[in-house]
Structure formats: C-alpha cells, structure tokens
Structure 1
Amino acid sequence: MVCKQWGNCVLPSRDWNEVKFPIKFPNACYIVSSCIMAANSTTSGSPVTVKNYSQDSFFAAVREGYEWNCNWFAIGN
C-alpha cells in the first residue's frame, strides 16, 4: 500500500535540519520533494535539498543562510 504525507517546515539556516513526519511510514520512505513557500508572486527563494529519508524523518537544507518556510511531500509504504 502506498502512503502519502505532506506538511510544511521552517529551515532556519544552511545547516542540515531534521524534519519529522507526522506519522512514521510502516516500512520505508521512497521519495521526498520540497519547495520554498514564496511570500508573493515576485519572491524567489533558494532551492531546497533533501537527503537521508527514513521511516520517520528526512534532512533538508537551503543554499542561502536565511530562514525559509517550505512545503514538503513524501511517498512511502
């Protein structure tokens, strides 16, 4: 069975930040996609990089050293 989860988070710096899933995936997380939440249509942000997905979390970072709000979507089972 495929499970989907989504949410938002704050990435406070360029360092890797652990983001916890609301519910642990029973077996594995297969993919996480994340993007910056723009303040308005003229705002552009730094890309979000994600790594090290697990059943209960992933790590995310932005290139620029500012605090960014981001949305994420994960698929697992």
Structure 2
Amino acid sequence: MTDLSAEELVELDDLQAAYKATLEEWIAAIRTEEALVSVSPHSVAEVDQWEKAHFDEDAARNKVRAAKEAYENALRQKFFGF
C-alpha cells in the first residue's frame, strides 16, 4: 500500500464524505417515493407527486453514481497510478 500525504488523505476523505452524503440523499428520495406509493387510493395529484418522487429518486441515484465514480477513480489513481 502506498503511503498517502496528508493532502491526499484529505482529498479522499472529502470524496468519501461526498459519496456518503449523496447516498443519504438517495435513501431519503427512496423513502419519499415509498411513502407516496403506499397511499391508497391515488388521486391525480398524488400520482403526480409519486411520479415526481420517482424522477427525484432517479436524479439522486445518478448523483450517487457520479460521486462513487469520482471516489473510486481517486482511489485507483492514488493506489495504482491509473
């Protein structure tokens, strides 16, 4: 394992924290969608809210993927040089 400088550790910690934060946002979006889909019967307004929650969940998932990729890329660069 390569020794990392304090600056590199801070960078990795920041990327990891950003990844964790986006995961929490995604979890909240999933719970929001779940709560809306659990309501019965649906009104038109509730269906609209549910669809919006689905799109919000999808956007949150995409943010997680991007944050994960950034963190993984930084780890690969630091440990393997590519």
TM-score (norm 1): 0.21
User: Which structure: greater strand fraction?
Assistant: 1
TM-score (norm 2): 0.20
